Every structure is written in structure tokens, then in C-alpha cells.
Structure 1
Amino acid sequence: MAFAPADGATLDGVDAETVRAALKSGDPFPGTDGFAGAVDGVLVRDVLGRRPIFVDDETDGWNFDPTELTAPRSLPAGTVRDDDGERRVWTLPDPDPAPSSEALDRVTSAVRERTRAVDPEGLAVAFSGGVDSAVVAAGVPDAPLYVAGFEGAHDVEAARRAADAMDRDLTVVELSHDDLTRAVPELVAATGRRNPMDLSIALPLYLVAERAAADGHDRLAVGQGADELFGGYAKVVDPADDHRVDADTVRGARRETMLTLPAQLERDVLTLRAAGVDPVAPLLHDRVVEAALSIPDDLLVADGERKVALRAAAAGVVPESVRTADKKAVQYGTYVSRELDRLARQAGFKRRMDDHVGRYVASLCDLEYLPPDER
């Protein structure tokens, strides 16, 4: 097997001894923020795929950066690859729910410990004004906050209100159409993603990270994982009547969303690294994930409120107005999805056309258009 990362590093996120111990024990949560790379002649990727790694089946090479390979393919999360092929060695546990008081104590302890353990050196915080990013920001009280969005966007206004309530400095990255038309081809090249949803999520993250890097920061703290771990999606509230999930229980629907994390995190990590920063995601630390897995239904969703356990853990840590604030999905809260649609229509790709934004993205990147099921 060829070990050929461009920078010579062979492990990302952890030391070799930790990986060896996790391989020996089969423990999916050995106390890390995720890992990927090569150790003792095998390639590994942690159970949630928090660190991306790619293989090239044509050359038997691998890299952390897919652009360094001719035919990159993601190594699946929880997998080991060696000369005998690939096999899954870690799977996401599915424990029975713990009693509510015990589960909440574990979540509160884990969230507070891990957010306060973040090294503030060179750090900025991606901040939307919601409870996820506010809890992360509270753990690093001296780190500057950054938000991106078009004029009047929900996330910008929410971030301003929350930063004022927390008495924190906030940099607003006001977006323009020129920003989108420049960044779309860069993101497609860096991530290999070209579907409009992925791009609408990645674009504000990329543009915030670019600004933070230009201001001298080399690390960006994010609230990634909170919605998946703590039941932040609307489809988790009443899954039996929601066609977007197969599960018919709240915990089952939450598990489905957790299993989407490897693909999402691959996109987000590649996005941030392309912008010049390394991601820091304390809510995705093993200790937080393990605590979240034992949350009962009533600490995920109660009386229409989502992320009940996380909001409870935030009590006394962030202002009440921030702890209870509603949050829009980033692609909508920043208006990026709306403005990408507007640009597509201005370029002649009307809504009556199938996948009109996807067609616009392909034209912007000088790529052959591929229908959604062929990307």
C-alpha cells in the first residue's frame, strides 16, 4: 500500500498508540475528536468519519486531500484497509436510553468539559447566534466570533443579538453575488461536491473561514454535530408521520441523522481546510457523542422543543435568550440558497427546468452537467 500524503503526515487527529489500543479493544470511542490515516501498515478512519481520508483503487495510494489522487474514494467511517482489503472494525453503538436525570448529567458534564477544553490559540468561532455555536463560543471567551450572510439574513441578525447578549466581539462577513460566483468553483474543486444543497451549506462556512484566516486565525471552532446528536431536525419530532426518515421513533430517527455525519463532515472539513483553517468541533468529541447516545426521547424532543438536553446543558452558560433561540438551517439563515437560486435564474436557468441550480453550478465550473442520480 502506498503511503503518500503531500505533507508526509501519516495520522490525522491522534497518536499511533491510541489507534492501536482502539483496534485491539474495538472501542469506537477511545477519547478523541476523530482520526484517520496510516498506522502499522493499515489505513483507519474513526467511527463517525470526523477526519476524511481517501483511497485510490487504481494506484493503491491514499491521501487526506482528494485532489492529490487520480480517482479518490472515501474510506468508509469505522473501517480498516490493508493488503487483505477493507473491513469495518468500529460501529456506532445503539445503547438503551438511560434514566433522564442520569443522561442529562452525563451530557451536561461532557458538553461543558469539552467546550472548555478547546485551546484558544489561533482560534476563531463560526457563530450563528443559535445554542450550538453559543455553547462552543462560551467555552473560549476570548475568541472572536464570525458570521456570514447576505444583508438582512436571519443568521446575521441572530448573531448580532446573541453576541451583544454575550458581550462578545462579532465580525460580520457580508456576502455578495461575486463571493458566490468566485467560491462555487473553488469549493467544487476542493470537495468534489457539486449538488446545490451541499454547496449552499458549505459556502457560508467557506467564506467565514476565509475571512478568519485572512485575519490571522488558523483554527475555526464550529458547532457541527449538535443537530444530529441532540435531535435538532424537524424530521425527528414526529418520525412516524415524516416521510424523510424510515424510523418511527424519535431515537430511531435521531440515529438515522447521526449516520449521515461521515458524508457531512467530509464536506465540512474539506471546505474549511480549503479556506485555510483547521476545524475544531468540541460537540463531536467521543465523550459528548457517547453521552448523547443514551439520551431518552424526552431529552431529544419535548412539547415541540428540540435539542432539549443540549439546551438544558447550556443553562447558566449562555444567556437565556440565546439558549432558547430558534435556528434556521445555515443555507436558509444566511440567504445563500436563495441567492444561488437567484443567480441561476439570472443566468437563464429558470425554475421550470429540472435541477436549474445544479445546471447553473455546472456551467459556472465549466463542467458537463450531471443529473442528481449520476453525481
Structure 2
Amino acid sequence: MTDAAGSAAGRSFDAANDRVRGASADIVRRASADGDPLPGTVGFAGAVDGRIVRDALGRQPVFTEATDPTAWSFDPNDLAVPETVPAGHARSTAGDERVWSLPDPDPEPDDRAAVRRVRGAVRSAVDDTATEGLAVAFSGGVDSAALAARLDAPLYVAGFPESHDVAAARTAASKLGRDLRIVELSHEDIERAVPEIVAATGRTNAMDVSIALSLFLVAERAAADGFDRLAVGQGADELFGGYAKVARAPEDERVAADTVRGARREVVETLPDQLERDVLTLRGAGVEPVAPLLHDRVVAAALALPGRMLVTERGERKWALRLAVREWVPDPVAFREKKAVQYGSLVSRELDRLARQAGYKRRMDDHVDRYVESLV
């Protein structure tokens, strides 16, 4: 994710055709030569020296034609049969080569030092974010509050009127002393947005679509209000131990790891696929995503956290992040637990309701997936 805009497809591999999002070609060259997976960016992708590259965390999606790796684009709709370039890889006519892998540092033994490092990384990443044309996707949780409290940009939340996210965002915005723009959702909004999300992402499964819906509708409203960039809190749950399955490792069968740190690593490795969906969704709505919490500095600080600073013995998740940002986020917001966006906004519930109203009953396999496909 980056502040740069624009999408292009290219077929010629030479220096004159270097085109990268998120970093200069020189930074990518140095990172490649050094094998440095975290060279100080918020992710990058594009064409450099005859190869199509994508950063180690996959923060910038990029695609090539399945039958012709010299035909590429940031937008899969530019290609007949798009094929994603894997995170951390370079693709050329010779095939895919892994160039970067995320580090796996030993845990920081000093908890206070670990929190200080997270605090400094998050603060600098947010403060370095340009605010021209920027709005903030704000759900009232610690992730978006860490951005909202330091960015002079309007806050937007989307959800059905009685949703948890709308109520939480109202309360948190009030504690931050900020105005909030509420995008109240309806069934008509869902029915209209689903085909656009599918067109942008190529995905029709219910989970991806329900996650994307709130993002899309917030971004669409922000774009209609004249903003072309949207700050999002993506990455915090994965990096800082925000998932219940991470907190319950090794008992939770959804993870293979036998430690909290190992389970956190597993979910971090799912980010490239998630970020592809989110970036394409937001661009499809007319804004460029900006994700300060995915800056290399933040990633490095998070990966060095010991398990106890991800999840406490009492089961409190994202502990280091909460302690870090309480310097500028009020405690009732910094330590608030929040539902996943598809549930907190009630989008998942209402998408299921629409599917059943359309005749796709729960007794049917993948009934919501079938409903989504019927709208396309």
C-alpha cells in the first residue's frame, strides 16, 4: 500500500520501463542485492530490471498474464488470465524466484523496550503519512484510533444503524474529540456493491465479499466527498496477535503452531492474500489505500515481540500495541475489544439474510456464495 496512484501494464523489460509502486526502483534494487525484506517502505511492487517484483509482505499486489510473464499490471482486469506474483518473489521469463523472506527475530527480552520500539515505529509511520486528500476508515478500535488520533483527516465508519461498529466509532470519536461521518448501510447498498467488489477482486466467496463490503462502502463515500486516499488499520491484528485462534494456541485447531508467536507467524503469512483483496476493493471504490501500520518499521517491531506481549496470560490480545498507543489514544479506546469488521458492521448477518430471502437457504452448501454469484 502506498500513496502513489495509477495502474499500468507493460510488455518491455528494460530500464526505461522500470515502474514501481511504493518505492523507487533504486530502493528495490538495493533491497534485492542485500536480501533486505524490510528496506523502509510500506510495500512495493512493479517492474525493475526485467523482473516483476512484490515485497515480502505482499502489501502491493501485482499480476502477470498467465501465459506471458512480460505482460503485467497492478490491476488484474487489464489481463486476460491474471496470475498473482507471490509475495517476496520476482517473476521473469525464467520463472518465479524468491528474493525476500520475512525475518524471524528472537523475541525482545525487555518488555518495556519492546513497547517503546512499537510506540516509536507506529508514531513515526503515522506521522509520516501525508494528509492531503486523506480520509480515515474508523471503526472505534485501537487500530484505527492509533491513526485517527494523530491524523488531521475526517473519520468514516460504515455499518447498519444498530451495528456495534457504528456505536463504537461514535463513542471513540467523542473521546478523541473528533467528528465522525457515518455511512448507514442498507440492503440496497449491499446488492449494488457486491457486483462491483467481485469485478474488482475476482472473488465471490462469502467471507471475502463480506469483509470487503464495509471497506468498499466507506471508500466509496469518501471518494464521493472528494477524498482520493483512505487510511486503514490493516495488518494490526495479524502482526500484534489480534485473533482468538492466536490467543488460544496451541489448543485452537485452526492453527498448527504450538506457541502464540508461532500462531502469529501463521496469520502474518496470510496477509498477502488478504491485502490483495483489500487493495483491489479500495481501488475499485476510487481511493488509494494508505496503511501506516504495515510500514516496515512497524513490521520489524511487531515481529520482535515476545508471545506475552502479543497475548497476556489473561488472554488480552494486541497487548504491546495497546500499551504503545495509549500515549495518544485514551485508555477506554486503546483497550477496547472489537469485533471483526464483517460482524461489527452487521454486513455478514445482512448478507446472509439477503441470501435466504432470495431462496438460498442455510441447508444448502455455500448458500451465501451462491447468492453472491447470482448478483454478478
Q: Could you state the TM-score of these two structures normalised by the residue count of structure 2?
A: 0.94
Match 1:340 to one of 348, 351, 354: 351
Specify the alignment match of 2:303 in structure 1. Answer: 293
Match 2:233 to one of 223, 233, 257: 223
Q: Deviations over 1:175-207 (max 9, x none)?
A: 010111111011101101110000000000000
Residue 187 in structure 1 maps to residue 197 in structure 2: yes
Please give the root-mean-square deviation of Cα atoms over the aligned residues, in Å.
Answer: 1.2
Mapped partners of 2:35, 2:348: distance in 1: 41
Specify the alignment match of 2:23 in structure 1. Answer: 14
One-letter amino acid matched to 2:50? G
Please report how far the alpha carbon of residue 316 of structure 1 lies from its aligned counterpart in structure 2 after TM superposition: 2.4
Q: Deviations over 1:185-240 (max 9, x none)?
A: 11101101110000000000000000000000010000000000000000111211
Specify the alignment match of 2:291 in structure 1. Answer: 281
Specify the alignment match of 1:25 in structure 2. Answer: 34
Q: Is the 8 A contact 2:91 2:97 kept in 1?
A: yes
Mapped partners of 1:133, 1:3: distance in 2: 40
Specify the alignment match of 1:46 in structure 2. Answer: 55
Specify the alignment match of 2:3 in structure 1. Answer: none
One-letter amino acid matched to 2:119? T
Mapped partners of 1:3, 1:299: distance in 2: 48
Q: Deviations over 1:329-364 (max 9, x none)?
A: 000000000000000000001111111101111111
Mapped partners of 1:249, 1:37: distance in 2: 36
Q: Is the 8 A contact 1:27 1:90 kept in 2?
A: yes
Q: Deviations over 1:66-115 (max 9, x none)?
A: 00100001100000112321110101111110112222221111011111
Specify the alignment match of 1:372 in structure 2. Answer: none
Cα distance change, pair 273–3 in 1 and its aligned pair in 2 (3 A): farther
Q: Is the 8 A contact 1:80 1:88 kept in 2?
A: yes
Q: How many residues align?
A: 361
Residue 136 in structure 1 maps to residue 147 in structure 2: yes
Specify the alignment match of 1:108 in structure 2. Answer: 119
- Give percent identity, aligned residues only: 65
Q: Deviations over 1:35-92 (max 9, x none)?
A: 0000111111000000000011223311100001000011000001123211101011
Name which of structure 1's ranges 266-275 and 315-324 shifts more when overlaid on structure 2: 315-324
Q: Is the 8 A contact 1:112 1:313 kept in 2?
A: no
Q: Is the 8 A contact 1:129 1:322 kept in 2?
A: yes
Mapped partners of 1:41, 1:243: distance in 2: 43
Match 1:166 to one of 160, 176, 188: 176
One-letter amino acid matched to 1:43? I
Q: Is the 8 A contact 1:130 1:325 kept in 2?
A: yes
Specify the alignment match of 1:205 in structure 2. Answer: 215
**Structure 2 residue matching 1:306: 3-state secondary structure:** coil
Please list every run of 5 or more consecutive structure 1 residues that lacks an aligned counterpart in the other structure: 366-375
Cα distance change, pair 9–280 in 1 and its aligned pair in 2 (3 A): farther
One-letter amino acid matched to 2:307? D
Mapped partners of 1:183, 1:315: distance in 2: 36
Mapped partners of 2:200, 2:339: distance in 1: 26
Q: Deviations over 1:236-270 (max 9, x none)?
A: 11211101101010000000010000000000000
Mapped partners of 1:238, 1:267: distance in 2: 27
One-letter amino acid matched to 2:206? P
Mapped partners of 1:182, 1:128: distance in 2: 22
Q: Is the 8 A contact 1:47 1:77 kept in 2?
A: yes
**Structure 2 residue matching 1:33: 3-state secondary structure:** coil
Name which of structure 1's ranges 170-179 and 97-106 shifts more when overlaid on structure 2: 97-106
**Structure 2 residue matching 1:129: 3-state secondary structure:** coil
**Structure 2 residue matching 1:241: 3-state secondary structure:** coil
Specify the alignment match of 2:7 in structure 1. Answer: none
Residue 256 in structure 1 maps to residue 266 in structure 2: yes
Name which of structure 1's ranges 339-348 and 312-321 shifts more when overlaid on structure 2: 312-321
Mapped partners of 2:316, 2:32: distance in 1: 39
Specify the alignment match of 1:316 in structure 2. Answer: 327
One-letter amino acid matched to 2:42? D
Match 1:59 to one of 58, 68, 76: 68
Q: Deviations over 1:263-291 (max 9, x none)?
A: 00000000000111000100000000011
Residue 94 in structure 1 maps to residue 92 in structure 2: no
**Structure 1 residue matching 2:91: 3-state secondary structure:** strand
Specify the alignment match of 2:315 in structure 1. Answer: 304
Mapped partners of 1:164, 1:237: distance in 2: 30
Please list every run of 5 or more consecutive structure 2 residues that lacks an aligned counterpart in the other structure: 1-9
Match 2:11 to one of 2, 9, 14: 2
Mapped partners of 1:297, 1:114: distance in 2: 23
Name which of structure 1's ranges 209-218 and 75-84 shifts more when overlaid on structure 2: 75-84
